[in-house]
Amino acid sequence: MSNIRRVALLAKVFSAAILGVEAYLVEVEVDISQGLPGFTIVGLPQGALKESKERLRAAIRNAGFPFPLQKITANLAPADLKKEGSAFDLPLAAALLSASGLLNQEKIQPYLFYGELSLDGKLKPVSGVLPVALLAQKKGLILVCPEDNLSEASLVKGLKVLAVSHLKEVVSNLGQEKETSLPQAIEKEEAVPDLAEVIGQEHAKRALEIAAAGGHNLLFIGPPGAGKTMLARRLPGILPPLSYEEALETSRIYSVLGLLEPKRPLIRVRPFRAPHHTISDAGLIGGGNPPKPGEISLAHHGVLFLDELPEFRRNALEALREPLEAGEITLSRAQMSITYPARFILLASMNPCRCGYYGDRQRPCQCSPQEVRRYRQKLSGPLLDRIDLQVEVPAVDYKDLVRQIPQENSLQVKERVLKARERQKKRLGRDGTNSSLSPMEIEKFCQLGPKEKGLLERAARKLNLSARSYHRILKIARTIADLAEEENIKAAHLLEALQYRALDLFSW
């Protein structure tokens, strides 16, 4: 018995797991001891992580390293949170190599490992590298990731990264990491559709400008072919450019879902998301198993376009009410609660009735009054109250189509939007828009003179406006005044603001 030498080796490395759109630190521990050969992973491993044992055996052997024929126990701490995905392959392999004596334990302590292994030992790109890189920078660690994820990790300024393409490089290249710098190639904005391509529809274009200037939600109501979708797709082109912080925050959401392009890892243009009306509740607001961000989070700092609004599921539309007010969505489950960012401009379109031609001057409507009523009742009052601008978009007249009249381009409109946004920033002393004004801020910044008060009071009584609609009109008027570079809200601004409440004016 004295000749039998007991081997018990323990190694620890750092890795990360994704919860929502945030990464949290995970300590990967591997213990190699005498006993029947076996490999056990504990710490609530889920999905692809359970299958990593077989990938690790093949990858380590094909990389030219011996795989321990002993009892192996791996623990992922904290053990009370679920661990998902294949990105734990690399940290498990690094811990195994360290426990086997092939990597110095002290040498790997400053590193955070994150990546998937193929059977031949090569590293494959993984999703979620950006939030992991932000975590590594926060904790003062050096990130080890697949070479294909280097451009994504490079978005975090000042982070030290070791990008490797093979497991062999992890052993041979430790200590050769480099500090990241933002690639110059991603600084340019992408081209977006121009507003000059839209013929006519001056009223709708003005509504787009107001929506962009004040961050207001907007609903287009009109017959098929009037240009509602064409107008909607030009809204991102007149919005202010993303700041670096906003771009990083938006890119982080896309990183979690694996939607970032390797050559363009930083999203520089405000997102424009247009899901189909058959989308599920989880697809729109987020959820699933495991939970993932939905379309409203993918539209963060951008535009969510819902075409044919009444055709969306009622439950999905009602779930929009919270994020439209709060700018985020909280999903509560039995085991956890996750909050996803969701600050976006809602841009929606709908027909005036099921056939689409109610009130049209050229084509008669085929719907009965009951059918028109049922179609409109698909949208609840509380949801419509949260849409600041409700604008009719009539069919374009043939004469307007053939006339060669120069149209104002997006750049000209954008200049006015930027000036209005700058006025709001100075007024609020923070990043924000008129659409986000609190009741106290409305009282402070939307003061009216006697003439304006009387005008708004008469309109509120005649249209039976709710308190939320009343505040919406004040916010819109404040934005119109900002576009006109006026310090105070005047009667003309209120009258124009009232024109953008079509559903109130016509008792929808």
Q: Are residues 17 and 166 in the same domain?
A: yes
Whether residue 404 is predicted with pLDDT greater than 90 in this model: the reply is no
The answer to whether 74 and 41 have CB atoms below 8 angstroms apart is yes
pTM given for the model = 0.90
Q: Are residues 239 and 106 in the same domain?
A: no
Most confident of 164-168, 180-184, 425-429: 164-168
Q: Are residues 176 and 225 in the same domain?
A: no
Residue 505: per-residue pLDDT: 55
501 bridge partner residues: 390
Q: Are residues 160 and 272 in the same domain?
A: no
Q: Are residues 294 and 157 in the same domain?
A: no
In sequence order, which ranges of 108-243 are alpha helices (DSSP H)? 129-139, 150-153, 167-173, 202-214, 228-232
- The three-class DSSP label of residue 9 is strand
Whether residue 507 is predicted with pLDDT greater than 50 in this model: the reply is no
User: Strands 116-117 and 123-124, how do they pair?
Assistant: antiparallel
User: What beta strand segments (E) does 105-141 contain?
Assistant: 111-113, 116-117, 123-124
Residue 26: per-residue pLDDT: 97
Look at residue 129 and tell me if it is in a domain.
yes
Look at residue 40 and tell me if it is in a domain.
yes
Over residues 295-308, mean pLDDT:
97
Contacts of 400 (CB under 8 A, 6+ apart): 199, 200
Whether residue 184 is predicted with pLDDT greater than 50 in this model: the reply is no
- Mean pLDDT (the chain) is 89
Choose the weakest-confidence range: 340-354, 408-422, 472-486, 490-504. Answer: 490-504
Q: Are residues 155 and 28 in the same domain?
A: yes
Contacts of 179 (CB under 8 A, 6+ apart): 158, 159, 160, 161
Q: Are residues 349 and 293 in the same domain?
A: yes
Residue 8: per-residue pLDDT: 46
C-alpha span between 100 and 30 (Å, rounded): 10
Over residues 388-394, mean pLDDT:
92
Q: Are residues 12 and 63 in the same domain?
A: yes
**Residues constituting the chain:** 508
The boundaries of the domain holding residue 122 are: 8-182
The answer to whether 129 and 153 have CB atoms below 8 angstroms apart is yes
Over residues 235-246, mean pLDDT:
94
From the number of C-beta atoms within 10 Å of its C-beta (0-12, 13-18, 19+), residue 404 rates as exposed
Whether residue 448 is predicted with pLDDT greater than 60 in this model: the reply is yes
Residue 6: per-residue pLDDT: 39
Calculate helix-pair angle for 467-483, 450-463, nearest 10 degrees: 140
Look at residue 302 and tell me if it is in a domain.
yes
Query: Residue 189: pLDDT band by 50, 70, 90 thresholds?
Result: low
Q: Encoding tokens for residue 166? A: 């093979």
C-alpha span between 402 and 383 (Å, rounded): 39
The string of pLDDT tens digits covering residues 81-116 is 888 889 999 999 999 999 999 998 889 999 999 999
What is the number of other CB atoms lying within 10 angstroms of the CB of residue 152? 27
Look at residue 448 and tell me if it is in a domain.
no
Look at residue 225 and tell me if it is in a domain.
yes
Whether residue 283 is predicted with pLDDT greater than 70 in this model: the reply is yes
Q: Are residues 177 and 223 in the same domain?
A: no
Look at residue 459 and tell me if it is in a domain.
no
| Of 384 and 239, more confident | 239
Could you give phi then psi for residue 90, rounded to 5 degrees?
-65, -50
The answer to whether 341 and 328 have CB atoms below 8 angstroms apart is yes
Query: Residue 23: pLDDT band by 50, 70, 90 thresholds?
Result: very high
Whether residue 336 is predicted with pLDDT greater than 90 in this model: the reply is no
Q: Are residues 155 and 62 in the same domain?
A: yes
Whether residue 48 is predicted with pLDDT greater than 90 in this model: the reply is no
Residue 467: per-residue pLDDT: 83
The string of pLDDT tens digits covering residues 260-271 is 988 888 998 999
Check which CATH number belongs to the domain holding 76 and give it: 3.30.230.10
Check which CATH number belongs to the domain holding 347 and give it: 3.40.50.300
Residue 29: per-residue pLDDT: 95
The answer to whether 75 and 42 have CB atoms below 8 angstroms apart is yes
Query: Residue 186: pLDDT band by 50, 70, 90 thresholds?
Result: very low
From the number of C-beta atoms within 10 Å of its C-beta (0-12, 13-18, 19+), residue 458 rates as exposed
- Number of DSSP helices (H) and strands (E) in the chain, helices first: 21, 17
Whether residue 400 is predicted with pLDDT greater than 70 in this model: the reply is no
**Single residue among 382, 407, 432 that ends a domain in this structure:** 407
Whether residue 490 is predicted with pLDDT greater than 90 in this model: the reply is yes
Q: Are residues 152 and 71 in the same domain?
A: yes
117 bridge partner residues: 123
Token pair 């979620």 is at which residue?
128
| Of 91 and 158, more confident | 91
Look at residue 113 and tell me if it is in a domain.
yes
Most confident of 48-57, 273-282, 422-431: 273-282
**Single residue among 407, 432, 462 that ends a domain in this structure:** 407
Look at residue 209 and tell me if it is in a domain.
no
**Single residue among 136, 156, 182 that ends a domain in this structure:** 182
Whether residue 300 is predicted with pLDDT greater than 90 in this model: the reply is yes
Residue 277: per-residue pLDDT: 95
Whether residue 218 is predicted with pLDDT greater than 80 in this model: the reply is yes
The string of pLDDT tens digits covering residues 454-477 is 999 998 888 888 888 889 999 999
**% of the chain exceeding 70 in pLDDT:** 94
Whether residue 133 is predicted with pLDDT greater than 90 in this model: the reply is yes
Report how many domains make up the chain: 2
Q: Are residues 395 and 283 in the same domain?
A: yes
